[in-house]
Amino acid sequence: MEAKHIEMHGVRKTYRFFTLDDLSLELAPGEVMGFVGPNGAGKSTTLRLAMGLVTPDAGEIRVLGQPMPAASASAKREVGYVSAEMLLLPNATLGWHMDFVKAIYPSWDDAYAMTLVKRFNLRREQNARSLSLGERIKAVLLLTLARRPRLLILDEPTTGLDPVARHEVISEFMDVLQDDSRSVLFSSHNTVDVERISDRITFIDRGRVVESSNKEDFLDRWRRIQLQLPEGAALPALPNIVSRNVDGRFVTLVTDRFSEGFAALLGPNVREVQRMNLEEIFVANVMRHREVRGS
Amino acid sequence: MYSGINISQTDARPMYLQIMEQIRARVAAGDWEPGKELPSIRALAAALNVSVITIKRAYLDLESEGVIVTRHGKGSFVANVNGLAGELQEARVDEHLDQAAQLGRQLGLTEEDLAARLRRAYRNVDKK
Amino acid sequence: MNIVTRKLIAKELHVNRLLVGGGVMSGVASVVLAALGQLGFSIGSLIWLSTIIAMGVILALYGIMNERKEHSLEFIMSLPLSVSDYVRAKMLGLALCFFIAWSISVAGALVLVFAKDSVPDGIAPYVVLLGVFMLANFCVVLCGTMFARNEGTTTLIVIVTNMGVTIFMFIVAPMKGIHDFMWGPVPVWNSAFWAVLGCELAVMVIAFCLPIFLVARRRDFL
């Protein structure tokens, strides 16, 4: 069995106004993990820790089996990192960057690189300075994808992209997954995309992992239930209620442990049982997490 | 081959069910004949921009329904069962009838009421 | 030296090509100007000094701080290299850029000293010492900028080291071993000269190597 691509256990990183605490995360080969959290939750920090760009104050990090940040130089040979804030080197063209990266990585695929240039609607002669946000992200992605890294770590890769560009970019990630020895970890605000392409999803809030699970499992377990109670009736006693909203005789419940058994407990007053999309699950999960932590 | 399969995220039904339905429809229509090889899970995932886990689930459920057969190491194939297309068509009718029956019960219709309505609907098909 | 370090040094040269080219042209022009009479010499030497100093400042500020500020550091650090590799490549790359403009300017100045009769050959050692001082100065600026966490510190470093040039001229020019022979017809390479040169080279080597040892200890390079 092949080793995990990313393993983080009990990682802690303290900054002046923010602490990432007890962070544990695992990514298996062939998997896509979506990393979701509010702004400032610690997503970028986590991805930087995975890349060995930041040294943790506690805990263990292994990427492609190698300890980070100690072995970051060699691990990075097979890891591709793209962040929305990344800029290319000024005073140099995309073509120069392509030659630069090609000289450094033996796994560079020229034909694929040229295909991506066309597909992403870029030109080799474009100067790094003159690229728009969308073009910049696509350019960095191109430079990363063309060398076919085993692990892709992407920090908000679709933020700021128009729908067409987003579709192009996501298609390229998904192409990566045709090889089951490669994997992708990406953070995003776009819960629609995360819901669609992730195999696993990790929620993070205020420096802590709120929940990490298989996507289908999430979507199966969470439900919003609307009940209409008859006059004078009380709410049935139910376990695993994440939130409850009472409006006269209409009650809306959210549960994260829906099952056949649970459905049976609901009784005859159910008006509707709705599946929740990832955005709704995410908000409900984070709200609960914040209540529990008393913040 | 699978460019026509469309997954809509605004559809209330889960993605894996949509995939199953569309594959079933193709088998029922005879477009995907018995014994035909299905795209590999990863190839379909990449083509549809849908997670591998979702495709896996769809294939597993289709296999337990008997619509497809997975041979370890070789891939997945439309089940080589005679009359599969017909069976699937009939299964669709049953699905709709189940829904009608449930709704009817909720509204308090009797069995005779429901049957009468069904007969009327059947006759109306020719009129349209 | 691995391929990444080599390519990064080449990148430094490529990215700064206009600046270095400009420095070379300015240095050569100033030497030519200095060859044209008394006034030309005064103006020319001023431009010569300013060119070398300015090159140093711009290379250090632009080459290091800008990269950090402009998030292109993230792109570079995503490449398969360690922090030490980066620092080494940076120092070598920028030093090479500076060296190109510097060596041509200093060589030009020495050519002027030896070729032109109106300029006494005895001043050659002083020119060499001044030139090497500015090279050492540049290494100190590079070293400081590598450690600086904000623009305020870098500006301070630049100001202090530039004052150093003036101070150098005030201290070294009147030194017994130098002053006595500066205006003579023959260059004198005496112990005073070697002592000063030795100090300059020592400072240069230390300033150059220090970042490579110390920055690698840093936990958060970004």
Give the tens place of pLDDT for each residue, A194-237. 999 999 999 999 999 999 999 999 999 999 999 888 887 777 77
Report whether pLDDT(C87) > 90: no
B55 & B91 share domain? no
Q: H helices within B3-83, ranges in order?
A: 15-29, 41-48, 52-65
Q: Does B20 fall in a domain?
A: yes
- Out of B6-20, B37-51, C116-130, C174-188, least confident range: C174-188
CB spacing of C80 vs A104 below 8 angstroms:
yes
CATH of A6-214, one of 3.40.50.720, 3.40.50.300, 3.40.640.10, 3.10.180.10: 3.40.50.300
User: Within 13 A of A170's CA, how many CA atoms are on the CB side?
Assistant: 27
Give the tens place of pLDDT for each residue, B5-39. 888 888 889 999 999 999 998 988 888 888 899 99
Best residue of A167, A174, A228 to probe chain B, by most B CBs closer than 10 Å:
A174
Q: Is A170 on the interface with B (CB under 8 A)?
A: yes
CA C97/CA C91 separation, integer angstroms: 10
What residues form DSSP beta bridges with B68? B78
Q: Does C176 fall in a domain?
A: yes
Q: Does C222 fall in a domain?
A: no
Residue-range definition of the domain harbouring residue C187: 3-217
Q: Do the two chains A and C touch, given a threshold of 8 Å on CB pairs and at least 3 pairs? A: yes
The mean pLDDT of A38-59, rounded to a whole number, is 92
Contacts of B15 in chain A (CB under 8 A): 196
What distance in Å separates residue A45's CA from the closest CA in chain B? 26
CB spacing of A30 vs B57 below 8 angstroms:
no
Confidence of residue B3 (pLDDT cuts 50, 70, 90): low
CB spacing of C75 vs A80 below 8 angstroms:
no
Q: Does C87 fall in a domain?
A: yes
CA A120/CA A108 separation, integer angstroms: 18
Query: How many independent structural domains does chain C possess?
Result: 1
Q: Where in chain A is the domain with CATH 3.40.50.300?
A: 6-214
What distance in Å separates residue C166's CA from the closest CA in chain A? 34
- What does the pLDDT read at residue A33? 97
- Out of A34-38, C176-180, C205-209, C215-219, least confident range: C215-219
B73 & B89 share domain? no
Average of per-residue pLDDT values in chain B: 88
What distance in Å separates residue C90's CA from the closest CA in chain A? 14
For A139, phi and psi rounded to 5 degrees? -65, -45
B68 & B30 share domain? yes
Q: Residues of A numbered 63-122 whose beta carbons fall under 8 angstroms of chain B's beta carbons: which are they? A: none
Chains that touch A (3 or more CB pairs under 8 A): B, C
Q: Please, what's the b/e burial string for C16-34 (b: 16 or more CB within 10 A of its CB; e: otherwise)? A: beebbebbbebbbebbebb
Nearest to A178 among B12, B46, B53 (CB): B46
- What does the pLDDT read at residue B2? 65
Cβ–Cβ under 8 Å, residues B30 and B75: no
Query: How many independent structural domains does chain B possess?
Result: 2
Burial category of A292 from C-beta neighbours within 10 Å (exposed 0-12, middle 13-18, buried 19 and up): exposed
CA A284/CA A288 separation, integer angstroms: 6
B64 & B110 share domain? no
Q: What percentage of chain A reaches a pLDDT higher than 90?
A: 63
B66 & B104 share domain? no
Q: Does B8 fall in a domain?
A: no
B62 & B26 share domain? yes
Residue-range definition of the domain harbouring residue B95: 84-127
Structural tokens at position C48:
């010569």
- Measured between CA atoms, the residue of chain C closest to residue A90 is C15
B89 & B74 share domain? no
Q: Is A84 on the interface with C (CB under 8 A)?
A: no
- What does the pLDDT read at residue A1? 55
Give the tens place of pLDDT for each residue, C45-72. 899 998 998 898 889 888 877 777 667 8
Average of per-residue pLDDT values in chain A: 91
Q: What is the CATH number of the domain that holds B55?
A: 1.10.10.10
Prediction pTM value:
0.84
Structural tokens at position B45:
């995932």
- What does the pLDDT read at residue B58? 96
Contacts of B51 in chain A (CB under 8 A): 32, 196-199, 215
Contacts of B54 in chain A (CB under 8 A): 215-216
